[in-house]
């Protein structure tokens, strides 16, 4: 069987880590026909658009994509490519597993937290009103009439939109994930005491959904309390489900708990399509330096293989990475105890070391 997969190399360090992931996935023996497409700054250069229609069509056709990080050019008029992709393809669930691998220098051991972030609503929906525009003035008037509140006329406004439909989808996704992966607890994160009609709705729908899964423990935690508990007792958590903005921030915090952005894979999942990508961005200062950790995207690739039903190949990659980390010889700078360790390996050396371990596993099995 040959899988057709859209490959978006991305910008900055994207092409380096994408190549690493591509080579590693191929080393498992799974046959993939890569349909290369572009997004971000590179696509802007090539096609005059950060998200060309051909890229969207490729993902719609193949249903699965592996994506390197892309740079969103700074300046007005450029919408985040990632947000646009998630909205356009209705990839409503962002799944970010945060797991400690023995040998990674971290403050905590034995963590295995799944962060599930709603991907299409909340303050990220892109409904924004620019300071000084006539639409903003109308909205300010409406707020003043309906809320008995005076706003500064020079305000800019971003809307936080949370729907029952969106919340039901993401919380069901979280509980189904728990059921399918034998997870014990789902924590729903909110600030419902302050934002009664957005976070409050998120919480009340989550509570309803939880009743359909009586075998799974359910708790609700306020976002500020979560931050404190994650730093003190991260082992208390199993699956977190959060609205978009909190999910963005907390998934990066959880990446920090397990060794940093180099160790944080991810997936954006909808009902019919999925894009697998690292949590990190394009790290422009390291572009072309063959220096960054490719594990986030390689592990995202392993998630993709599992999504395609290639459980064996996915496990081979994860075991190979675990071995390379445990040996501690061939790892990038971020996994060394000291930042400027001269023995840090390059992106390509690490990739070769993982491929070597995958090949060795053929002789073992
Ligand atoms: P970033 O994640 O690119 O990098 C921040 C820092 O984290 C880096 O300087 C580096 O020290 C470290 N880091 C990141 N990836 C690493 C890796 N694989 N190995 C080792 N260290 C790593 O965040 P940023 O600098 O805020 O963003 C740069 C660009 O990336 C921006 O244009 C932003 O919009 C974009 N971005 C894209 C995505 C995506 O495509 N999914 C996600 C986040 C940010």
Q: Give the mean model confidence (pLDDT) for residues 331-348.
A: 91
Atom of ligand 1 nearest to the CA of 293: 19
Identify whether the C-beta of residue 66 lies closer than 8 Å to the C-beta of residue 18.
yes
Q: What is the pLDDT of residue 193?
A: 95
Q: What is the pLDDT of residue 340?
A: 82
d(CA 288, ligand 1 centre) in Å: 14
Question: 45: which 2 tokens?
Answer: 């250069």
Question: 285: which 2 tokens?
Answer: 């200062």
Atom of ligand 1 nearest to the CA of 334: 20
d(CA 10, ligand 1 centre) in Å: 12
Q: β-pairing, 157-158 with 128-129?
A: antiparallel
Q: Tell me, yes or no, if 323 is annotated catalytic.
A: no
Q: Give the mean model confidence (pLDDT) for residues 22-50.
A: 94
**pLDDT single digits (tens) 146-188:** 998 899 999 999 999 999 999 999 999 999 999 999 999 999 9
| Catalytic residue, candidates 191, 291, 323, 357 | 191
Q: Which residues contact 51 (CB under 8 A, 6 or more apart)?
A: 39, 43, 81, 84, 85, 88
Residue nearest to atom 39 of ligand 1 (CA): 69
Please check the confidence at residue 2 and state whether its pLDDT lies above 60: yes
Q: Tell me, yes or no, if 124 is annotated catalytic.
A: yes
pLDDT band at 78 (very low <50, low <70, confident <90, very high): low
**pLDDT single digits (tens) 295-331:** 999 999 999 999 999 999 999 999 999 999 999 999 9
Q: What is the pLDDT of residue 72?
A: 80
Please check the confidence at residue 70 and state whether its pLDDT lies above 60: yes
d(CA 280, ligand 1 centre) in Å: 4
Q: What is the pLDDT of residue 257?
A: 96
Is the beta carbon of 283 within 6 A of some atom in ligand 1?
A: yes
**What is the pTM (predicted TM-score) of this model?**
0.94
Residue nearest to atom 27 of ligand 1 (CA): 281
Is the beta carbon of 262 within 6 A of some atom in ligand 1?
A: yes
Q: Tell me, yes or no, if 60 is annotated catalytic.
A: no
Identify whether the C-beta of residue 312 lies closer than 8 Å to the C-beta of residue 287.
no
Q: Give the mean model confidence (pLDDT) for residues 198-211.
A: 98
| Catalytic residue, candidates 122, 199, 238, 248 | 248
pLDDT band at 56 (very low <50, low <70, confident <90, very high): very high
Please check the confidence at residue 73 and state whether its pLDDT lies above 80: no
Is the beta carbon of 268 within 6 A of some atom in ligand 1?
A: no
For 30, how many CA atoms within 13 A lie in the half-sphere containing its CB? Answer: 27
Q: Tell me, yes or no, if 286 is annotated catalytic.
A: no
> Residue 111: helix, strand or coil by DSSP?
coil
Q: Which residues contact 165 (CB under 8 A, 6 or more apart)?
A: none
| Catalytic residue, candidates 124, 177, 246, 333 | 124
Q: What is the pLDDT of residue 339?
A: 76
Identify whether the C-beta of residue 296 lies closer than 8 Å to the C-beta of residue 269.
no
Q: What is the pLDDT of residue 351?
A: 98
Residue nearest to atom 4 of ligand 1 (CA): 283
Radius of gyration of the chain (CA): 21
Residue nearest to atom 44 of ligand 1 (CA): 281
pLDDT over 70 percentage in the chain: 98
Q: Give the mean model confidence (pLDDT) for residues 42-63.
A: 94
Please check the confidence at residue 76 and state whether its pLDDT lies above 80: no
**Mean pLDDT value across the chain:** 95
**pLDDT single digits (tens) 230-278:** 999 999 999 999 999 999 999 999 999 999 999 999 999 999 999 999 9
Is the beta carbon of 59 within 6 A of some atom in ligand 1?
A: no
Q: Give the mean model confidence (pLDDT) for residues 124-128.
A: 87
Q: Give the mean model confidence (pLDDT) for residues 209-235.
A: 98
pLDDT band at 77 (very low <50, low <70, confident <90, very high): low
Question: 214: which 2 tokens?
Answer: 């009586």
Of 280, 289, 300, the residue with max ligand 1 atoms within 8 A of its CB, to mutate for a pocket test, comes to 280
Cα(71)–Cα(129) distance, rounded to whole angstroms?
24
């Amino acid at each position: 069987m040959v899988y057709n997969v859209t490959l978006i190399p991305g910008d900055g360090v994207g092409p380096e880590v994408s190549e690493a992931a591509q080579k590693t996935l191929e080393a498992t023996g799974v046959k993939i026909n890569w349909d290369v497409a572009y997004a971000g700054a590179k696509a802007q250069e090539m096609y005059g658009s950060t998200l060309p229609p051909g890229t969207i069509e490729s993902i719609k056709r193949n249903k699965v994509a592996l994506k390197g990080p892309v740079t969103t050019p700074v300046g007005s008029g450029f919408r985040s490519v990632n947000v646009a992709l998630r909205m356009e393809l209705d990839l409503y669930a962002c799944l970010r597993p945060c797991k400690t691998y023995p040998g990674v220098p971290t403050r905590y051991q034995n963590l295995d937290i799944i962060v599930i972030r709603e991907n299409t609503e909340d303050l990220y929906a892109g409904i924004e009103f620019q300071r000084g525009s006539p639409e903003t003035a109308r909205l300010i008037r409406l707020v003043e009439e309906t809320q008995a509140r005076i706003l500064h006329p020079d305000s800019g406004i971003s809307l936080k939109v949370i729907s029952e439909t969106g919340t039901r989808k993401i919380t069901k996704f979280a509980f189904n994930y728990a059921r399918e992966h034998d997870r014990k607890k789902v924590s729903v994160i909110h600030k419902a005491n302050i934002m009664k009609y957005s976070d409050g709705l998120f919480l009340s729908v989550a509570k309803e959904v939880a009743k359909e899964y009586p075998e799974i423990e359910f708790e609700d935690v306020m976002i500020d309390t979560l931050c404190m508990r994650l730093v003190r007792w991260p082992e208390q958590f199993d699956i977190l489900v959060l609205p978009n903005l909190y999910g963005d921030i907390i998934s990066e915090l959880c990446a920090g708990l397990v060794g940093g952005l180099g160790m944080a894979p991810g997936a954006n999942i909808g009902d019919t399509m999925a894009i697998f990508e690292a949590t990190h961005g394009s790290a422009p200062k390291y572009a072309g330096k063959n220096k960054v950790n490719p594990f986030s995207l390689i592990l995202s690739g392993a998630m993709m293989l599992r999504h395609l039903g290639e459980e064996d190949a996915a496990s081979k990659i994860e075991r190979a990475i675990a071995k390379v980390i445990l040996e501690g010889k061939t790892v990038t700078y971020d996994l060394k105890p000291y930042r400027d360790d001269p023995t840090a390996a390059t992106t390509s050396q690490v990739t070769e070391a993982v491929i070597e371990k995958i090949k060795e596993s053929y002789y073992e099995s």
